Structure 1
Amino acid sequence: MNHTAPLAGRDVFRVGYGAAQLPRLHDRRDDAIALLRRAVELGVDHIDTAEFYGFGFANDVIREALRPDDDVLVVTKVGADPDPGGRLPLRPAQRPEQLRASVDDNLRSLGVDQLAVVNLRRLDTGPGLRPQGDQVVDLDDQLAVMTALRDAGKIGAIGLSSVTLDGLKQAAPAGIACVQNAYSLVSRDDEDTLQFCVAGGIAWVPFFPLGGAFPAVPKVTDEPAVHVVAEKLAVTPSQIGLAWLLHHAPNVLLIPGTADPAHLEANVAASTIALETTALDAVESRSNQVTLG
């Protein structure tokens, strides 16, 4: 199993860090900075973030913690804005002018002149928000803004999130660096989309890699077969879930999130777990799968 894979024109370590849980350390800023520094020490060289993570907290900490010589590729996303008073802490922001404003917000909070990769969060599939009213925007209109921002040098590469296979095929001529969809051992309904990415050299960066983020969605760590294999290999069930993803396709990059240094180290260590054919067969054939659409 390779330990690196391409993302936006460079090879990165296949286990990155997702900053969605970093705001849990909002009142412990020094710990948040130390966590990111530890990630870099462990070899993490790509971080996934968004301006709406912690209402700017995650980007602010990333800006303070990372140094130029760390050479960390920071991936951010647009398509939603913070909504502190809402039922969810974010709301759709799909209109072209909102995408442009979100890019500017991320540039400002990260303190950079160019965002290396920006994922357009489409909200077409998977669990979570769905666009309504004026938030239902044609993909071509959104891509026109994203490519204009790339041509202007504000964006280095474009990714997509929560996108259908048809949407990905429609967007592919614009040049898509990565896809972020919900995907795990127990929720593999986007397999055709993943295989399209394999064929096209597009990085596959699953969110909810261990399932279970929404009610009625099973957790990888609840699967008996996963526990059996984990016990045999003297690792945790979560590590088996992450290792399975790395073994499943060569273009998979992981961005597990945590606010705990020990969990961070365990997530990175998942890249060293060798799953033989019998172990892979065991967890794949005995694990439940659900459709997240």
Structure 2
Amino acid sequence: MTSTEIRIGEDLRVSRLGFGAMHLPTEPGPARRRSLAVVRRAVELGVTLIDTAHLYGGGANEELLAEALHPYPAELLITTKVGVARSGPSGEWRLDGRPSVLRDQVDQALRRLRVERIELLQLHRIDPQTPLADQLGTLRELRTEGKVGRIGLSEVTVEELRQARRIVDVASVQNRYNVLDREHEPVLAACEAAGIAFLPWRTVAWGESGARAEVAAVADELGATSTQVALAWLLGRSPVIVPIPGTARIDHLDENLAAQRLHLTPAHRDRLDRLPGPA
């Protein structure tokens, strides 16, 4: 039986299964209304961590969450990410960790989310063109100023995590990771050793491979779906993991959250642990 909560930092407790808001349509009309309903349903079902980012619609995703949920329940954590901006010569999205950009995006997020402090702010990617000390130093200053509560990273290596921890306390890491894609296994191990929350994104990545067939076979034996098996595997993989599956459909949301009640036997888990990545 996996725990139903996890601690981020020293004092912030959230549900073991979060929600990724990236896929929610934000344009006016029926699709937006469905997005609002999905987010509200997630909170009704006990989700207390929702992940968004400045990149998702240039802040439109943050505005959607505020419309759906503000004033927020006391236990709800909305975490956002900064460090990707429309700053190329043609206005394309690119990594941009300059202090002025990070500060501006945080200020925008505070306004859009209608909060005075972002309890967990993650650096979306490390900008190789800006010194890491400048990027994380800016986030540390924002924390000192009271605009940020905790600082996290996204898509980092073990070495980058080590370097970052010399500069600032790291509360979370958000890397791509699932039962068929374990490239960041060393990062997960480093997070577990340090008590850092690990928020895998792309929690389900199905490809046409024998590995997927094995997941489907386990699901059939348990009377579940492959998605539920993949999420249950993540929940049992490490006590620091907080999966953040995303969807724009309530039926898929219900399916995802039901994975918390799925019990993988040791035999099932062993079969999944031994799976190779996609062919």
TM-score under structure 2 length normalisation: 0.91
Q: Say if 2:103 and 2:138, in contact at 8 Å, map to a contact too.
A: yes
Deviates more, 1:23-32 or 1:64-73: 23-32
Aligned ranges for residues 142-221 of structure 1 at < 5 Å?
A: 142-173=135-166, 174-211=168-205, 218=207
- The sequence identity of aligned pairs, in percent, is 37
| One of 233, 237, 241 as aligned partner of 2:222 | 233
| Structure 1 position 20, deviation (Å) | 0.2
| Structure 1 position 96, deviation (Å) | 1.7
Extract unaligned runs of 5+ from structure 2. Answer: none
| One of 68, 73, 93 as aligned partner of 2:72 | 68
Partner of 2:264: 275
Deviations 1:72-96 (A, max 9, x none): 1010001112589979x73222212
Query: For the structure 1 residues 30 and 143, does the alpha-carbon distance in structure 2 shift closer, same or farther, using more than 3 Å as the test?
Result: same
Q: Say if 2:80 and 2:121, in contact at 8 Å, map to a contact too.
A: yes
Query: For the structure 1 residues 99 and 177, does the alpha-carbon distance in structure 2 shift closer, same or farther, using more than 3 Å as the test?
Result: same
Q: Say if 2:155 and 2:175, in contact at 8 Å, map to a contact too.
A: yes
Q: Say if 1:225 and 1:287, in contact at 8 Å, map to a contact too.
A: no
Partner of 1:126: none
Deviations 1:219-259 (A, max 9, x none): 79961110110001111111111111111100100111100
Aligned ranges for residues 76-91 of structure 1 at < 5 Å?
A: 76-82=80-86, 90-91=93-94
| One of 283, 286, 293 as aligned partner of 2:275 | 286
Partner of 2:103: 100
Query: For the structure 1 residues 103 and 2, does the alpha-carbon distance in structure 2 shift closer, same or farther, using more than 3 Å as the test?
Result: same
| One of 247, 251, 269 as aligned partner of 1:258 | 247
Q: Say if 1:203 and 1:252, in contact at 8 Å, map to a contact too.
A: yes
State the number of aligned residues.
274
| Structure 1 position 30, deviation (Å) | 2.4
1:259 alignment partner AA: A
Partner of 1:13: 15
What secondary structure, in the 3-state scheme, does the structure 1 residue paired with 2:25 have? helix
| Structure 1 position 102, deviation (Å) | 1.1
Deviations 1:69-120 (A, max 9, x none): 3531010001112589979x73222212111111111111111111111101
TM-score under structure 1 length normalisation: 0.86
| Structure 1 position 13, deviation (Å) | 0.9
Q: Say if 1:205 and 1:255, in contact at 8 Å, map to a contact too.
A: yes
What secondary structure, in the 3-state scheme, does the structure 2 residue paired with 1:15 have? coil
Superposed CA RMSD:
2.3
Q: Say if 2:233 and 2:269, in contact at 8 Å, map to a contact too.
A: yes
